[in-house]
Amino acid sequence: MAFQCQRDCYMKEFVTSVVSCCPAELKQEVNGKKETIKGFHIKLQDTILFPEGGGQPDDHGFLGDVPVLRVTRQGPDALHFVASPLEVGQEVHVKVDWERRFDHMQQHSGQHLITALADTMFGYKTTSWELGRQRSTIELDTPCVKPGQLQELEECVNEKIRAHIPVMVQLLSIDDPAVRSRGLPEDHAGPIRIIDIEGIDANMCCGTHVSNLGHLQVIKLLGTEKGKKNKTNLIFLTGKRVLKYAEKSYNTERSLVSLLKTGPDEHVEAVDKLQKSVKLLQKVSMSITKRCSCSSCRKEGDNEFMNIIANEINTEETLVFLTVGEEKGPGLFLLAGPSELVTEMGPQVLELLQGKGAGKNGRFQGKANSLARRGEVEALLKQRCNQRNSQEE
């Protein structure tokens, strides 16, 4: 079997014949569960479907109208896993899943470019890489990459893309003096494949690649994460994945604008405020008993913050007293609860806090010149709630 895309990775269809067909099993993860599928391994005279290897996943496609679910390498042969058998000697039309193939070409060539320039510019060697379903990762042999270096690297790789630099494939004999044999699989057979990005990098690789850096379209370096053994994982997207990421990010942004009622630049602040509200609400709710009062004091917050908390509590039966500000300094306050109780107690709270405010519809809020007597307000409200509960009983 010869992989017919050794030189031309843009070949999408091919006609060949079946050499062998043997029963086989394929283990797959479906909806988080591992399943074993029974099928057949098909060997072809030649193929254009890439078997997984070199950090790159396999191609998918069709043999006639039969889907190819997995392609693996066995020495010089490619095994095509299919669900139904094919006759030995049968002529088949091989068709590659082009969207998947071209995506892998973009990510893999992008990795070669990033790896080469990270080494040239900063001396960071690549020790491994992974082509993921949504994003890819390069493991760099450095404990960290500075933000300025990341930006400089991204600008440089995209400059090379805009320069439309050719990417060529060389096929060398394993005996060729130019071949570096280290790292070849023990069962390697056939010529050695060199991917040459003109003037930038020349590396052994069995994977599929673009023929020109311009076909990468764009590369986005998303950031870095701490890797294993004092190394750094560089996360990147290439080509169409960048467009998909931008579309997904925009749709998420629109959803957040609708939910948070704020502009994109204020989303982080709004979510932070909500998280603080939820934490406070959890604490407050634990202290609430039916027809009783509850109170809470925080240094940070505003009227909106206090109203969010009050909205989550059944103030028709519970008297809620909230303040934000320094313990003995000025601040804001909110009294919420049964309307008649709030109307009665609001002015007394205002007097104790030396503040200004007003109330309606079961809410009384305002500014306090001093929260020093907050404890007295809590005691007063608790006493009044107890009296009210006793009268109702």
Inform me whether the pLDDT recorded for 80 exceeds 60: yes
Domain boundaries, the chain: 4-96, 102-246, 293-390
- What's the gap between Cα 315 and its chain centre? 40
57 alpha carbon, distance to own chain's centre: 20
Neighbours of 11 (CB within 10 A): 13
Q: Does residue 358 contact residue 325 with C-beta atoms inside 8 Å?
A: no
Report the percent of the chain where pLDDT is more than 70.
Answer: 88
Q: Which H or E element spans position 96?
A: strand 91-96
- 244: alpha, beta or left? (left if phi > 0; alpha if psi -120 to 50): alpha
Spatial separation of the C-alpha atoms in residues 308 and 331, rounded to whole Å:
17
Residue 51: per-residue pLDDT: 93
Residue 16 has pLDDT above 50, yes or no: yes
Average pLDDT on 156-178 reads: 89
Angle (nearest 5°) at CA 18 between 45 and 56? 60
Residue with the bigger pLDDT between 6 and 170: it is: 170
Bigger pLDDT: 128 or 189?
Answer: 128
The CA distance from 354 to 227, in Å, is 57
Taking a C-beta distance cutoff of 8 angstroms, is the pair 77, 62 a contact? no
Count the alpha carbons within 13 Å of 224 in the hemisphere toward its beta carbon.
23
Q: Which two tokens stand for residue 159?
A: 């400059």
- Report pLDDT for 98: 97
> 331 forms bridges with which residues in the sheet?
325, 368
The helix (H) or strand (E) run that includes residue 222 is strand 219-226
Q: What is the reported pLDDT for 316?
A: 76
What pLDDT sits at residue 30? 77
CA distances from 324 to 204, 298, 331, 363 (A): 64, 5, 6, 16
pLDDT range class, residue 175, cuts 50, 70, 90: confident
Average pLDDT over residues 98-115: 97
pLDDT at 192: 83
Q: Are 218 and 119 in contact (CB under 8 A)?
A: no
Segment 253-267 mean pLDDT: 90
CA angle 303, 326, 274 (to 5 degrees): 40
CATH topology classification for 102-246: Threonyl-tRNA Synthetase; Chain A, domain 2 (3.30.980)
The per-residue DSSP string of 369-384 comes to: S--TTHHHHHHHHHHH
Instruction: Please count the CA atoms within 13 angstroms of the CA of 177 that sit on its side-chain side.
Output: 0
* pLDDT value at 290 more than 50: no
Of the two residues 118 and 275, the one the predictor is more confident about is: 118
What average pLDDT does the structure give for the chain? 88
Q: For residues 111 and 104, what is the distance between their CA atoms, to the nearest angstrom?
A: 10
**The residue to which tokens 């007394």 are assigned:** 348
Nearest 5°: the CA angle 144, 145, 151 is 165
Q: Going by CATH, does the domain composed of 4-96 fall within 2.40.30.130? A: yes
pLDDT at residue 7 in the model:
57
Lowest mean pLDDT among 53-57, 92-96, 108-112: 53-57
Highest average pLDDT, of 21-35, 111-125, 247-261, 329-343, comes from 111-125
Q: DSSP label at 57?
A: P
Mean pLDDT of 54-76: 93
For 266-282, write each residue's pLDDT tens digit.
898 888 877 877 776 66
pLDDT value at 293 more than 60: no
Whole-model pTM above 0.85?
Answer: no
Class of domain 293-390 as given by CATH: alpha beta
In sequence order, what are the residues at sequence separation of 6 or more whose Cβ sits closer than 8 angstroms to the Cβ of residue 224? Answer: 144, 145, 150, 232, 233, 234, 235
Over 90: is that where the pLDDT of 304 sits?
Answer: no
Q: What is the pLDDT of residue 249?
A: 95
| Crossing angle of helices 374-392 and 339-352, rounded to 10° | 150
Per-range mean pLDDT, top range of 87-91, 271-275, 328-332, 363-367: 87-91
CA distances from 192 to 76, 86, 160, 167, 178 (A): 12, 31, 26, 16, 10
Distance CA 30, CA 50 (A): 23
**Has residue 20 got a pLDDT over 70?**
yes
pLDDT at position 138? 97
**pLDDT computed for residue 273 by the predictor:** 79
Tens digits of residue pLDDT in 139-160: 999 999 999 999 999 999 999 9
